Amino acid sequence: MPRTIFENIVIQRFEKVTRLEFCKYMPIRFFEILFIEEGSGKLVINNHKVTYGENQIFILIPNDKYNFEIETPTTVSAIKFLYSFFNNSSLDENHSQRKEWFKKIETILHSANRTSHIEVKSKTDEISIYSLFTVLLNEYNDEHLKSEVILKSTLHTILHIISRNVTFASSTVSDSKIQDIINYIHFHIHDIEKLSKKTLSSKFHISENYISQYFKNKMGIGLKKYILTYKIKLAQTRLRYTDSTVTEIAHELGFTDSSHLDKTFVTYEGITAGEYKTRLKHPV
């Protein structure tokens, strides 16, 4: 019988609490989504205090330490992905599902601002995501229901909505158009066609001959270099947190082959992707 995809995901809900013990740091945690339905207080992330309120979503990533300073009774849900979730070498029926989920999660991992809650850009998304959390929690916690099909599809949709609402450019960027371009690049990083100068110029109404210069003027880095730099960051994330091979990562990120990825890796990091992975396993 194939291993369930939810063996390495923990979903919890705490209702109208004045104290929380579940958030003590545990090294097995990989990625967490916190959904605060009601209540107020401070969420302390790596010693940085953030005021929280009702209907807010926070993201926690590897090595984050956090706790709550609750001021009024708080209802909070947590979705916790464990390290082992993306490190399963067996090609069971959930293998491709985990890869798709990781694409959404790594988008969120590399967002610029995680010291605040996720700003959901549209009212439609806001209503949808809060409803989806209710569906997920009801399905997960009711032993008479607990349909893995519903759990998978609901969680994937939550990840998708969050990933398209995170912001990537530096907070110092005031130009809304360049912010939109950055968000678009990160969200579509796996689709080479959508990142072409022709597509970008058409979507953002900038001349194809000028868009690279426009990007460099605004960001201080060329468009092509920015995309490659971000892909190298994604490659590093996959080498660190998954058991994907260099060849698989090269294919997933749009490189010609593993040799192409290695050459690019050397340019930006001074070592090949394979050497980077070896150093992670055997640090000096």
Q: Can you give the pLDDT of all 284 residues of the chain as single tens digits?
A: 234 567 778 888 889 988 876 555 444 467 889 999 999 999 988 888 999 999 999 988 877 888 899 999 999 998 888 777 666 544 455 667 777 778 888 878 777 566 678 888 888 998 999 899 999 998 988 878 788 889 889 988 998 898 888 877 655 566 788 989 998 999 889 888 999 999 999 999 999 999 999 999 999 999 999 999 999 999 998 888 888 889 989 998 989 999 999 999 999 899 999 899 888 876 65
Q: Express each pLDDT in 250-283 by its tens digit.
A: 998 989 999 999 999 999 899 999 899 888 876 6
User: Which pLDDT score is estimated for 113?
Assistant: 60
Write the burial class of residue 46 (CB in 10 Å: 0-12 exposed, 13-18 middle, 19+ buried).
exposed
| CA distance linking residue 232 with residue 273, whole number of Å | 9
Parse the chain into domains and list their residue ranges.
5-163, 176-281
User: Which pLDDT score is estimated for 11?
Assistant: 87
| CA distance linking residue 170 with residue 111, whole number of Å | 10
Write the burial class of residue 142 (CB in 10 Å: 0-12 exposed, 13-18 middle, 19+ buried).
exposed
Write the burial class of residue 99 (CB in 10 Å: 0-12 exposed, 13-18 middle, 19+ buried).
middle
Q: How many CB atoms lie within 10 A of CB 170?
A: 11
Check: pTM over 0.85? Answer yes or no.
no
What's domain 176-281's superfamily in CATH?
Homeodomain-like (1.10.10.60)
Per CATH, the architecture of 5-163 is what? Sandwich (2.60)
